[in-house]
Structure 1
Amino acid sequence: MPVKILIADDHPLFRAAMCHALSTMADTALVEASTFPETLSCLEEDDAIELVFLDLTMPGNEGLHGLSSIQAQFPDVLVVIVTAQESASLVQKALALGASGFIPKSASIETIVEAVEQVLDGETWAPSNLQQEQFVDEIDDFPSKLRQLTPHQLKVLRMVSDGLLNKQIAYELAISESTVKQHVSAVLKKLGVINRTKAGIAFKNAMQV
């Protein structure tokens, strides 16, 4: 069975370049998406997709929100971040939030193939020049706590970070206010914070690129 890979990027030329790079590998089937909602639809409709190349700045994706959403809804799907932004701190955040790899858009075809092979072998991949010494020691434990949230809890936390009240969140998600309160309570407990303000600030900091 070929490995099905989703290339999620809003630039047609970059998608074409990725398709060209991946076509040099045996047994791969490629799917493309140009917006984040389209990316989620592809994943919902096709459970054979094993790997997603996710652009951080495509329409509908803000910072690392897309990565955290995919991790919550599709925990078995591997996600590799592709971006023109190259910083060690961003690599740290992405890998801490569950990304399997981080590939700069300046990478060569050979580098992309090497990264994909390594990720499919169950390892993480990032350019050596963007990796920091004592990498693991410097990662905050908040991203790992964030990965414990359910998809609904993650949506509620995102709205809390945007300053929405329980009543507004209930309306947006078409659920009762008491259900929102239960979600908020569960979020605070899992994240180990004392109130929604601290939860919102920590979430925004984790999502920033």
Structure 2
Amino acid sequence: MQATVVIVADDHPLFRAALVQAVRGLLPDATVLEVDRFDSLRETAAATPDAELVLLDLHMPGARGFSSLLHLRNEHPALPVVVVSGHEDPAIMRRALDFGASGFIPKSAGLPVLSEALTRVLEGGIWTPPQLLHASVHAGDREQAKRIASLSPQQFRVFMMLAEGYLNKQIAYEIHVTEATVKAHVTAILRKLGLIRRTQAALLAQRLLQAEAASLEVPPGTDDGDDDIQDAAP
């Protein structure tokens, strides 16, 4: 039988070593790949199509907020991702699961909890922390989280570049497409997210760069004259 391949992504050496030890204790024959930066994680995931699990810390160089989780879910939808984080706010845990995580393990959890969670996920299930029994998340936020998770990889790249204030011509240069293609992506993003203005999408994307459960509801955008849902088409 082929050995299970697990990617452990955490920039703290001691905690990463503890996770690796825990994985090998549960799966003695597993191949464990370690990364400490988000760009290395993306490269490793792309080069390891047989990986069966990623243990992901939300905070590492090259990642902000929920961006790393969303990138992985967009690029490798079949690869289970378990967030292992110092955040213990039930609302943040709920948000991570809504964005497609297969589990959320607080870093304060003991080995039995980690083993239970990993076993559940490797069997194809979802592991839900007990703290979520007390989580209260607005239904509209959960629906918007699912819409965000439905963006294609290229749409998500454009979406996150809106958070950084990139203009269409800058986005086109970065992702090697025409400005007309960027406009088409922006139109599709607005429609998928139920938004009207580019400014609304930019504000929403900025909230994803914070590892907190800020509301995903955005106010009406100002009339910035660029890329609303009526005129964004090429």
TM-score, length basis structure 2 = 0.84
2 CA distance for matches of 1:60 and 1:14? 19
- Deviation at residue 73 of structure 1 after TM alignment: 0.5
Alpha-carbon distance change, 69 to 133 in structure 1, aligned in 2, over 3 angstroms? closer
- Deviation at residue 12 of structure 1 after TM alignment: 1.3
For 1:49, the equivalent position in structure 2 comes to 51
- Deviation at residue 130 of structure 1 after TM alignment: 4.2
- Asked if structure 2 preserves the Cα contact closer than 8 Å seen for 1:96 and 1:139, the reply is no
2 CA distance for matches of 1:29 and 1:118? 19
Equivalences, count: 209
Written as runs of structure 1 = structure 2, the 5 A alignment for 1:87-98 is 87-98=89-100
1 CA distance for matches of 2:141 and 2:196? 22
1 CA distance for matches of 2:210 and 2:133? 19
- Choose 1 or 2 for highest CA Rg: 2
- Deviation at residue 55 of structure 1 after TM alignment: 0.7
For 1:4, the equivalent position in structure 2 comes to 5
TM-score, length basis structure 1 = 0.93
Counting aligned pairs with the same residue, the percent is 38
**Equivalent residue letter for 1:70:** L
Alpha-carbon distance change, 179 to 139 in structure 1, aligned in 2, over 3 angstroms? closer
2 CA distance for matches of 1:9 and 1:206? 19
* Structure 1 residue matching 2:100: 3-state secondary structure: coil
1 CA distance for matches of 2:180 and 2:157? 16
- Asked if structure 2 preserves the Cα contact closer than 8 Å seen for 1:25 and 1:113, the reply is yes
Q: Runs of 5+ in structure 2 lacking a partner?
A: 212-234
Alpha-carbon distance change, 182 to 89 in structure 1, aligned in 2, over 3 angstroms? same
- Asked if structure 1 preserves the Cα contact closer than 8 Å seen for 2:91 and 2:136, the reply is no
For 2:109, the equivalent position in structure 1 comes to 107
- Deviation at residue 206 of structure 1 after TM alignment: 4.0
- Asked if structure 2 preserves the Cα contact closer than 8 Å seen for 1:35 and 1:60, the reply is yes
**Equivalent residue letter for 1:15:** R
Q: Write the deviation string for residues 102-124 of structure 1: whole angstroms up to 9, x where unpaired.
A: 11111211111111001122222
Q: Write the deviation string for residues 117-149 of structure 1: whole angstroms up to 9, x where unpaired.
A: 011222222331344356695752111111221
Written as runs of structure 1 = structure 2, the 5 A alignment for 1:27-42 is 27-42=29-44
- Deviation at residue 182 of structure 1 after TM alignment: 0.8
For 2:75, the equivalent position in structure 1 comes to 73
2 CA distance for matches of 1:137 and 1:41? 35
For 1:24, the equivalent position in structure 2 comes to 25
Written as runs of structure 1 = structure 2, the 5 A alignment for 1:1-209 is 1-26=2-27, 27-132=29-134, 137=139, 139-209=141-211
